[in-house]
Amino acid sequence: MKDISDLISLLGGTGAIARKLGINPSAISNWKKQNKIPKTKYEAISKLSLDLNINIEEYLFPNDYKGSKFSILLIICGGIASYKSLEIIRLIKKNNIELDVVMTKSAQKFLTPLLVTSLNEKKCYTDLFSIEDEANMNHITLARKADIILVAPATANIMGKFANGIADDLASTILLATFSTVFLAPSMNPVMWENLATQENYHKLLDRGIKFIEPESGDMACGEFGTGRLPEPKHIIDEIVNNLNYKKKIQKQFNNVSVVITAGPTIENIDPVRFISNKSSGKQGYAIASELSNRGADVTVISGPVDIPPPKCNKLIKITSAQEMYDKTISILPADIVICSAAVADWRLIPEINNNHSLNTKHKIKKSNHNLRFTTLKNPDILETISKSKRRPKLIVGFSAETENIIENAKSKLISKKLDLILANDVSQNKVFGKDTNKVYVLTNNNCEEWSEQSKKSVASNLANKINEMFFS
Ligand SMILES: Cc1cc2nc3c(=O)[nH]c(=O)nc-3n(C[C@H](O)[C@H](O)[C@H](O)COP(=O)(O)O)c2cc1C
């Protein structure tokens, strides 16, 4: 990272600058110490740098985060390592990243909000039930505003609350209300860290795509030895900055690319109270939609009935049956990319009685229809129609939910429907539907990759990388 001290040397050193600007050299020493030049001096410094051909922007905005408007919410919990969060604040500010800070009640036993406020030069939030703050829906605003939420140190307590959906203070409520990337940097006594409850919470959160900056091993403040020490603030901030750099790199990756995604199940009504469907939750399709939206794509989601919050996308169209999903999807074309992750019913059922007479299904079918039978009517095939249409998108991605011969079945679907890519998964024994994780095989015409079991968010991110390779190469 570019240092203000280097800039001062390049401009002739403390004494020369002080003389040219007519200020006390001690002011410039302060700039060096704080690694920051006051905004009121930007113009004067800029004039000094003109003849020397120095790009002062690199020093004043070292990582260009201001231009990108990246922001971090730091949640400080109450642990022996709480004091290290002061250095974390200093480093975030040194990187010119916008910062808000929330402290738990326990954190305030170790550090005062006043200290944090003066370091961050901004109000530090502590209270969920603050009338002033909640006038602006503070907990939701704080949860949504940040690109990254960093919990450091993260106590065993906050991990337990987060893993189990408990929202009883400002910090834990924000964690449940956010779409942002969440990093936890746990720190605790080694026995607390190894405790099965903590380990279960840790794995639950990992599976949900929460990122961890792992605790280190060594001598602990409590006198014990083991794993549980908070890594050095510099290490934590390096990870965060790497993530922000990655976000910056990918946030325009799919600019001007239109994507249509189908998600969730379809419901095929038999009569007003009965239907056939499946247990697809829509989580994988929604995760892909949010991921591609975050990368700049113009995303339309066509979704069957689901019980999960809407994804980040430009347009969400709700449908019920396979026929409706087909009609909507076809009507939206052309698109650059179509991803069909919905579990579409292959058939609908037509109830009949005696001699193939159809029944009136406007009202509930009565039990008294003793010879009730069903014939099947095949639903239209969305993937096949799109891939063979004149308005074929540049890239078509299918999903193949199988209960046996997973790779073989997916491969034949890929070939027969002329897809570019297919993600196959084993949906037997409720392994995928409704779960937060997925294990997929990713097939193209000449390749088959086995991806390890991972969160559906992580599958979405890896799929976006794969599509980027295929689409732009
Ligand atoms: C002196 C002291 C040090 C503590 N250090 C830790 C710690 O390092 N990690 C931890 O998980 N809990 C630690 N605790 C326990 C937490 O403060 C306690 O679980 C609290 O409820 C955490 O609240 P919070 O998660 O809302 O901040 C410590 C408690 C005390 C009194």
389 lies in the same domain as 436: yes
Q: Do 233 and 264 have their domain in common? A: no
- Examine the domain organization and report whether 49 and 69 are in the same domain: no
pLDDT of residue 141: 84
CATH number at residue 245: 3.40.50.1950
Which domain range does residue 425 map to?
258-472
Q: How many CB atoms lie within 10 A of CB 246?
A: 11
Whether residues 385 and 280 fall in one domain:
yes
- 60, 80, 97 — which closes off a domain? 60
Is-contact 47 99, C-beta < 8 A? no
Task: Quote the pLDDT of residue 67.
Answer: 46
Which ligand 1 atom is the nearest neighbour of the CA of 156?
11
Among 250, 267, 282, give the residue marking a domain's end: 250
pLDDT for position 433? 76
Q: Is the peptide bond before 334 cis (omega within 30 degrees of 0)?
A: yes
Whether residue 358 sits in one domain with residue 274: yes
**Nearest ligand 1 atom, CA 78:** 27
Residue 14: φ, ψ to 5°: -55, -50
Distances (CA, A) of 17 to 35, 39, 393: 16, 16, 60
pLDDT for 190 equals: 95
Which residue, 213, 228, 250, sits at the end of a domain?
250
Best residue among 74, 80, 85, 166 to mutate for probing ligand 1's pocket (most ligand atoms within 8 Å of CB) is 80
Indicate if 47 and 119 belong to the same structural domain: no
Q: What is the pTM of this model?
A: 0.66
In the chain, how many domains are there? 3
Q: Are residues 229 and 282 in the same domain?
A: no
Residues 380, 239 share a domain:
no
Cα separation, 406 vs 247, whole angstroms = 34
pLDDT given at position 473: 67
Is any atom of ligand 1 closer than 6 Å to the C-beta of 228? no
Our mutation pick for probing the ligand 1 site, out of 155, 158, 198, counting the most ligand atoms within 8 A of Cβ, is 155
Q: Which numbered atom of ligand 1 lies nearest the CA of 158?
A: 25
Q: Which residues are catalytic?
A: 222
78 Cβ closer than 6 Å to some ligand 1 atom: yes
Residue with CA closest to ligand 1 atom 1: 80
For the chain of 473 residues, list the mean pLDDT of each consecutive stretch of 10.
80 89 91 83 78 69 56 97 97 93 97 96 90 74 90 98 97 92 96 97 90 92 86 96 88 93 97 93 95 94 94 95 98 96 95 79 85 92 94 95 91 96 86 80 95 91 94 74
Place of tokens 């050095």: 232
Q: Is the CB of 190 under 6 A from ligand 1?
A: no
